[in-house]
Chains A and B, each alone.
Chain A
Amino acid sequence: MPAVLWIALHPPVLSLQAFAATLGTAQHALPLALLDAHRIQAVNRVALQLGVKPGLKRATSLALAPQLLFGQADAARDAQALRALAHAALAFTPSVTLDGDESGGLPCVLLEVRSSLRYFGGLAPLLQRLQATLAPLGLRVRTASAPTALGAALLARWRSGFEQGLHSGNLRALQGQIDTVPLALLGAARAQAGALTGMGVHTLGDLRGLPRDGLARRCGEALLDELDRARGDRPDPREWLTPAPTFEAQLELFERTDNTAPLLHAAAILLARLVAWASAQHARVGGFVLAMQHEKRHRAGPQAPARTELPVALAEPSNDAAHLQTLLYERLARLVLPAPTLALHLRCAQLVHRAAPNGELFPTQASAQEGLLRLIERLQARLGPERVCRPLRMQDHRPERATAWQPALLATPHADAPPNGPTLTRPVWLLSDEQPLGERASHPLLDGRPLQLLAGPERIETGWWDGALAVRDYFIAQAHDGALVWIYRARLPLSAAAGEGWFLQGRFG
């Protein structure tokens, strides 16, 4: 057993898929091509069937396929997608490194997993888990494993997949496989690939057969060095990747949009990257900010903002992309955009490092509590936090101040038990603004019918210290239909606004 085991993840169509993420769902069936300096760099399958090949000029390809959709190759966009892949890999092992991005061509994420194998129960379950974790990122990935980092990278680039993975357990087998790998896959050999092919060198095995000193003079030390590292003849120290302390990701939309469906589609990709970043640090997201960059030309006025920020705060930190997406959806559905959106920007600095909640096999108190929390969170995201609230008993005699309201997610302090007498002393329904009652022969009227006073008065005289003086006599009265109401008579005409006479305060529901 070798002391190290590397898994290489190679996204073969990274730039194309990173570009396709910015498209709406309607454009996915169209032929796509990425342009780099007026030449086609990558095409999708539909375009390939129409005869469009990488390397063609823009005009040539348009002649072949007039409906071809062009995008600009963008190294920064590709790097962001690759970084998300690396973050997802960081959830499995702390030893993750990127390979091949400086040479441009064949990017690879490399994981050293020997120390994690026992935890995940072997290579096959680990690869399965890895595949499930990478799926939401929407990238096609080829994998390979080998005892050397470069060896694994070569195998992944060569031909491999999750189905028919090329997994080489020992060094000797790897060296045999490397000998058959095409020359162009080795980073350092790509520059001289033409010259070497002319010499009849097609595979790395052919290259190894050449005299070393002559090859070093002709092609430089780097080529031999890389070959030796791939074969395990030379040590290959790596610098491990560490995720940034704050998450920033940007996605430029292919076309400006003014409804939420394409925004949500694009935000889902950003959220998947956010979750990958959070799980790389074994933490959960406590909140994030989605900023929408607006087009200048279509803004409503000069004072219209250039970007709309949508902060989403979570009551319970979560790593569930679907949950984050629902919350964002509720917020986006309420939002009126001042102008069409060009780009999305996702920022997150609120990471909660805490032990992950336990999974439950059967529904328990804790899982029910979490489900309720999520429900409240969803309702609050759509309706606003002030519309989902809990009542709170306050120590005040004035009925309008005896009940306070607070957002439902805050913990309620344990209230004292109410006086538990044989009868109800307060009505369930308290009218928010007391309704003045008519009066006939000093008897209060409700809906034109006299009220029969049954109990009272209960005198409440309080609040002289906070400017809301209440001097009232409360009575329980019966309306003509038999229902009981709570009314009061203002004892002193203290101010013109408060008025005097009889008022309906509540109903005994």
Chain B
Amino acid sequence: MNPVSVVAAVARTAAPENLHPALWRAHQLARTRTAVLDSGFAALDAELPGGGWPRQVLTELLLSHPGVGEMRLLAPALAGIAAGAAGSAHNIMLFDPPAPLCAWALGQLGVETQSLIVVHGRDGAQGARHLLPSADLLWALEQALKSGQVGAVLAWLPARLRADALRRLQLAAQAHDGPAFLLRDIDVRLKPSPAPLRLVLHSAGIDTLSVRVLKRRGPALAQPLRLALPPVLSPVLRARAEATRALAQVMQGRARHPAPAPL
């Protein structure tokens, strides 16, 4: 073996990313020790460490109001869990969803209703946006994460949540062999969180979702991702709506800058 290749080999093994799975360089995406869950969106998978939704940790999704497309974003992964992608646990637990769910819509998204369990906190009224989490809900969430018997956990938590509560949930999530999504208000994006993956979701037009990566184990992502969600509108309707919108914008622009009168 010539000395140059020996040096190269030593340099390769001494590279931090080869020493330990928890190490990576700042320009690289982290690798995960556990298998990840396919999110169903290739563009998103490419930007997530490990190539999918992480397991055994919390994932925060921040949105301005429910209904921007968050359920359609999660639906492929949830459908996979309900079909047995995450091992023996098929169940999906939803904690304090912001509004009643429509079983038909979930069925159309491929999430079977037999695998869904919805848990309401005791004083959290359905649909009301409450500021403080109920202690019962946090307890139930921790129990579900700790039990390790649930395939996926989705929790809608209020903005004002103590840091130690989140930390506790993050510790409990280590026993949970599946993704754990916390859906919270966009106002908390400036507050620190122990969740290793935080995404900001915005609606970006018809059946399109813009995903900004707020925090991940890897380099910062400058541009938000645009994902095509499972469609509500047929392509024809969608084209027509976009044409209408473009027309309206043109009309608006014309009203603001009236064309010079022909001579």
A residues with a Cβ closer than 8 A to B are: 363-365, 368, 371-372, 374-376, 378-379, 382-384, 387-394, 399, 402-403, 405, 408, 412, 414-415, 417-433, 452, 454-455, 476, 478-479, 481-485, 506-509
Could you count the A-B residue pairs with CB atoms below 8 Å apart for me: how many are there?
A: 193
Q: Are A481 and B203 in contact (CB under 8 A)?
A: yes
Q: Are B108 and A418 in contact (CB under 8 A)?
A: yes
Q: Which chain A residues lie closer than 8 Å to B187 at the CB level?
A: none
Q: A460 → chain B, closest Cβ, in Å? A: 13
User: Is B120 interfacial (CB-CB < 8 Å)?
Assistant: yes
Q: A432 → chain B, closest Cβ, in Å? A: 5
Nearest 7 Cβ contacts at the A-B interface? A507-B67, A418-B107, A482-B203, A509-B71, A371-B149, A483-B203, A429-B99
On whether A509 and B66 interact (CB within 8 A), knowing A417-B107, A428-B102, the answer reads yes
Q: Which chain B residues lie closer than 8 Å to A383 at the CB level?
A: 119-122, 136, 140
On whether A372 and B103 interact (CB within 8 A), knowing A383-B122, A507-B67, the answer reads no
Q: Are A375 and B106 in contact (CB under 8 A)?
A: no
Q: Are A399 and B102 in contact (CB under 8 A)?
A: yes
B residues with a Cβ closer than 8 A to A are: 64-72, 88-89, 91, 97-109, 113-114, 116-122, 126-127, 136, 139-140, 143-144, 147-150, 202-208, 230-234, 237-238, 241, 244-245
Using A417-B107, A426-B108, A428-B106 as known contacts, list a sample of 16 further A-B pairs with CB atoms less than 8 Å apart, ordered by residue number in A.
A368-B149, A388-B117, A390-B114, A391-B118, A392-B103, A399-B102, A419-B108, A422-B231, A424-B72, A424-B105, A424-B230, A428-B101, A431-B100, A452-B244, A476-B232, A508-B232
Q: B19 → chain A, closest Cβ, in Å? A: 33
Q: B118 → chain A, closest Cβ, in Å? A: 6
Q: Are B241 and A454 in contact (CB under 8 A)?
A: yes
Q: A375 is contacted by which of B97, B149, B230, B237 (Cβ under 8 Å)?
A: B149
Name which residue of chain B comes closest to A382, CB basis. B136
On whether A391 and B116 interact (CB within 8 A), knowing A383-B136, A430-B101, the answer reads yes
Interchain CA distance A508-B102 in the complex, whole Å: 10
Q: B117 → chain A, closest Cβ, in Å? A: 5
Q: Are B104 and A372 in contact (CB under 8 A)?
A: no
Q: Which chain B residues lie closer than 8 Å to A389 at the CB level?
A: 117-118
Interchain CA distance A417-B107 in the complex, whole Å: 7
Q: A482 is contacted by which of B101, B144, B206, B237 (Cβ under 8 Å)?
A: B206
Interchain CA distance A415-B114 in the complex, whole Å: 8
On whether A507 and B140 interact (CB within 8 A), knowing A364-B88, A424-B230, A429-B67, the answer reads no
Q: Which chain B residues lie closer than 8 Å to A418 at the CB level?
A: 104, 107-108
On whether A382 and B139 interact (CB within 8 A), knowing A372-B89, A392-B113, A482-B208, the answer reads yes
On whether A427 and B113 interact (CB within 8 A), knowing A372-B89, A372-B149, A454-B206, the answer reads no
Q: A509 is contacted by which of B69, B122, B204, B231 (Cβ under 8 Å)?
A: B69
Q: B67 → chain A, closest Cβ, in Å? A: 3
On whether A427 and B117 interact (CB within 8 A), knowing A378-B143, A418-B108, A420-B108, the answer reads no
Q: Which chain A residues lie closer than 8 Å to B89 at the CB level?
A: 368, 372
Q: B103 is contacted by which of A368, A402, A422 (Cβ under 8 Å)?
A: A402
Interchain CA distance A404-B149 in the complex, whole Å: 25
Q: B132 → chain A, closest Cβ, in Å? A: 17
Q: Are B143 and A379 in contact (CB under 8 A)?
A: yes
Q: Which chain A residues lie closer than 8 Å to B233 at the CB level?
A: 423, 454-455, 476, 484
Q: A416 → chain B, closest Cβ, in Å? A: 9
Q: B204 → chain A, closest Cβ, in Å? A: 6
Q: Are A403 and B104 in contact (CB under 8 A)?
A: yes
Q: A91 → chain B, closest Cβ, in Å? A: 29
Q: B259 → chain A, closest Cβ, in Å? A: 25
On whether A379 and B140 interact (CB within 8 A), knowing A368-B149, A430-B100, the answer reads yes
Q: B229 → chain A, closest Cβ, in Å? A: 9
22 A-B pairs with C-beta separation under 8 A: A375-B147, A382-B139, A383-B136, A387-B122, A388-B117, A389-B118, A390-B116, A391-B113, A412-B114, A418-B104, A423-B231, A424-B231, A426-B102, A428-B67, A428-B105, A429-B100, A430-B100, A432-B126, A455-B237, A481-B64, A484-B67, A484-B232
Q: Are B127 and A509 in contact (CB under 8 A)?
A: no
Q: B107 is contacted by which of A393, A423, A429, A455 (Cβ under 8 Å)?
A: A393
On whether A427 and B102 interact (CB within 8 A), knowing A372-B150, A375-B149, A508-B69, the answer reads yes
Interchain CA distance A374-B140 in the complex, whole Å: 13
Interchain CA distance A433-B127 in the complex, whole Å: 9
Q: Are A375 and B114 in contact (CB under 8 A)?
A: no
Q: Are A483 and B232 in contact (CB under 8 A)?
A: no
Q: Which chain A residues lie closer than 8 Å to B122 at the CB level?
A: 383-384, 387
Q: Are A483 and B101 in contact (CB under 8 A)?
A: no
Q: Are A428 and B113 in contact (CB under 8 A)?
A: no
Interchain CA distance A375-B140 in the complex, whole Å: 9
